[in-house]
Amino acid sequence: MAYSNNLYQRFLKYMPVGEVTWVGVRPSKHQPVNELNEVHAIQGAGLQGDHRTNGNSNSLREITLICAEDIQLIRHYLKREQLSPQILRRNIVVRHFNLYAVKGQKICIGDTLIEITQTCPPCARMEKALGPGGFAAMMGHGGMCGKILKSGKIQVGDPVKIHSPQIELDFD
């Protein structure tokens, strides 16, 4: 079922503001994720210190994001008491903000502008990292990928919101 443009625009207008709860970078492909309080997002590249920043510039996967609520679902499906975001290998965890609802839209995190480009499905390594059923638990809950359109700092506690471009008026 296709959403009408008016309904979707109204939904986006009233989307609640979320919050960054966790930040991490992956120094290399198979190394543990480093948890940080803040990170510098580089336009057209990725996050400073993340191995993907050294790869394909202007990738659709310069940054990965996941909802804290999805982490709780994954934890629930696996019958675990706790689940660290580091195991899931995403860069940013946000809460109170439905990332799946903003695919193709621009969001602001702190002073950074990000376009949400595509879903971020789990990789085969999640079965090993999470144990039996890990891959299945993450299906549909792996988060989203994004492209950094404007460099800036992202830190724990930053607001996450839909980008609303300001109209500049020229009175000359």
Residue pLDDT, tens place only, 33-78: 999 999 999 999 999 999 888 666 678 889 999 999 999 999 999 9
Domain assignment present for residue 164? The answer is: no
Asked if the structure places residue 37 within a domain, the reply is: yes
CB 19 within 8 A of CB 154: no
Domain enclosing residue 105, as ranges: 15-158
d(CA 123, CA 155): 26
pTM of the shown model: 0.89
Does residue 170 belong to any structural domain of this protein?
A: no
CATH at 44: 2.40.33.20
In a domain, 6, yes or no: no
Of residues 53 and 116, more confidence is placed in: 116
154 in a domain, yes or no? yes
Say yes or no to pLDDT of 172 above 60: no
In terms of Cα–Cα distance, which of 106, 125, 128 is closest to 117?
106
Cβ contacts of 80 within 8 Å, gap of 6 or more:
none
How many domains, the chain? 1
Cα 24 to Cα 17, 18, 157, 172, distances in angstroms: 21, 18, 14, 46
